[in-house]
């Protein structure tokens, strides 16, 4: 069996998630090398996952003709340049979201990919979650009729370090961007206008960083459906990931995932354990499924399921959401694209 040989750029939290998937769960793939500016982190990951080589730099991986594809797991502000360099080296590319924080940089990276004729998949892993896939199936198949209302809830158990906010893009471009992608994926439709209500309620440090930690964004879809996205940087009970869509024939809802289904009943209360605590646990299967889909797309020369064009629209939505907050008004997406 031919294997797709990967080089991994970035040995941090998400790099480790992907490296473990490739090393332990995908027999059709193997990791040939890993690199990170923190060499100790790269060496630790190589030891953990049985990766043969710790490369000195990304350029060393790009120059290796035995490597077919690269996994870009570095900070967001490096993605676009690494995509362009990987494409020029003839490597297929799986890149974590978003490609960049500005549309000009995204467009430059996508142009480099098109010119090189390589494949690019962007890591919107929630599309591969079995719960959300079932919601999409119900909408696409008319199971709940014409959709009227969509509510997406996405809340983290704890806020990230403040130093993380700048390079990541903050609430809209780093956190809610997954929900913008989910809005398009679940509905099968496009958003035309957004309106944002947001604030700093969790930690005043977010205000000092020119960011927000709590937000609700109202979405107006082309087909008339109305959606809301509800984000918070802190939910004391764990990782809160839910969706509900109401349609003319009924509704479909996706609840949180739990480590077990045990219910404890006593004299004064009936309770369960807390939901899975963060994305590494909640989305383990979807991370594996997205990499498997990318690997097969390259080996079988088929289209990737989440293209560069797919990854651009949530950034437009995120920029529109921030503009709406700053200007206290609804913003149409065409204002951002124009």
What pLDDT does 63 receive?
97
Residues 67 and 106 in one domain: yes
What pLDDT does 212 receive?
97
Domain's final residue, options 101, 118, 135? 118
What pLDDT does 337 receive?
81
What pLDDT does 283 receive?
86
Domain's final residue, options 118, 151, 176? 118
The greatest distance separating any two alpha carbons of the chain, rounded to the nearest whole angstrom, comes to 68
Tokens of 171: 């609430």
Residues 132 and 114 in one domain: no
pLDDT in tens, the chain (338 residues): 789 999 999 999 999 999 999 999 999 999 999 999 999 999 999 999 999 999 999 999 999 999 999 999 999 999 999 999 999 999 999 999 999 999 999 999 999 999 999 999 999 999 999 999 999 999 999 999 999 999 999 999 999 999 888 888 999 999 999 999 999 999 999 999 999 999 999 999 999 999 999 999 999 999 999 999 999 999 999 899 999 999 999 999 999 988 888 999 999 999 898 888 877 777 889 999 999 999 999 999 999 999 999 999 999 999 999 999 999 999 999 999 85
- Quote the number of domains for the chain: 2
Residues 55 and 165 in one domain: no
Residues 163 and 225 in one domain: yes
287 phi, psi to nearest 5 deg: -60, -40
What pLDDT does 120 receive?
98
The span from the CA of 149 to the CA of 147, in Å, is: 6
Domain's final residue, options 94, 118, 142? 118
| Separation in Å, CA 173 to CA 164, 184, 268, 271, 312 | 12, 16, 43, 35, 11
CATH of the domain at 162: 3.30.360.10
Please state whether beta strands 69-72 and 92-96 pair in parallel, antiparallel, or not at all (unpaired).
Answer: parallel
What pLDDT does 290 receive?
96
What pLDDT does 217 receive?
98
What pLDDT does 121 receive?
98
| Separation in Å, CA 141 to CA 74, 146, 230, 242, 251 | 38, 10, 26, 21, 13
Residues 134 and 268 in one domain: yes
Residues 160 and 98 in one domain: no
Scanning the chain, the segments in alpha helix (DSSP H) are 13-24, 39-49, 58-63, 79-88, 103-116, 130-140, 162-168, 170, 177-187, 205-208, 279-282, 284-299, 308-327, 333-337
What pLDDT does 331 receive?
98
CATH of the domain at 57: 3.40.50.720
Tell me, yes or no, whether 283 lies in a domain: no
Tokens of 317: 């939505």
Tell me, yes or no, whether 265 lies in a domain: yes
Q: Which of 79, 75, 114 is nearest to 94 (CA)?
A: 79
Residues 8 and 81 in one domain: yes
What pLDDT does 209 receive?
94
What pLDDT does 282 receive?
78
Domain holding 50, by residue range, is 4-118
Tell me, yes or no, whether 244 lies in a domain: yes
């Amino acid at each position: 069996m031919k294997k797709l040989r990967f080089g991994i750029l970035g040995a941090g939290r998400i790099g480790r998630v992907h490296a473990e998937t490739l090393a332990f769960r995908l027999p059709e793939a193997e990791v040939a090398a890993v690199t990170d500016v923190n060499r100790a982190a790269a060496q630790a990951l190589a030891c953990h996952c049985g990766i043969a080589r710790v490369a000195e730099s990304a350029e060393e991986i790009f120059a290796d003709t035995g490597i077919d594809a690269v996994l870009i797991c570095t900070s967001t502000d490096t993605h676009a340049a690494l995509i362009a360099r990987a494409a020029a080296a003839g490597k297929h590319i799986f890149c974590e979201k978003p490609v960049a924080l500005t549309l000009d940089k995204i467009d430059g990276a996508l142009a480099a990919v098109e010119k090189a004729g390589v494949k690019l998949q962007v890591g919107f892993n929630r599309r591969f979650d079995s719960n959300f896939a079932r919601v999409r199936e119900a909408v696409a198949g008319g199971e709940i009729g014409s959709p009227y209302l969509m509510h997406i809830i996405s809340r983290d158990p704890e806020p990230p370090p403040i130093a993380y906010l700048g390079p990541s893009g903050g609430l809209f471009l780093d956190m809610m961007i997954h929900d913008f992608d989910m809005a398009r994926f679940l509905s099968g439709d496009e958003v035309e206008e957004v309106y944002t209500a947001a604030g700093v309620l969790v930690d005043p440090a977010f205000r000092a960083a020119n960011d927000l930690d709590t937000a609700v964004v109202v979405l107006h879809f082309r087909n008339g459906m109305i959606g809301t996205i509800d984000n918070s940087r802190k939910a004391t009970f764990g990782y809160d990931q839910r969706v509900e869509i109401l349609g003319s024939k009924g509704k479909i809802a996706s609840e949180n995932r739990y480590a077990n289904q045990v219910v404890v009943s006593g004299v004064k209360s009936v309770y369960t354990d807390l939901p899975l605590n963060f994305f590494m646990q909640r989305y383990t299967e979807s991370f594996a499924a997205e990499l498997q889909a990318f690997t097969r797309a390259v080996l079988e020369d088929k289209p990737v399921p989440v293209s560069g064009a797919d990854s651009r629209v949530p950034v437009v939505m995120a920029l529109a959401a921030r503009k709406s907050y700053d200007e206290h008004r609804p913003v149409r997406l065409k204002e951002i694209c124009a």
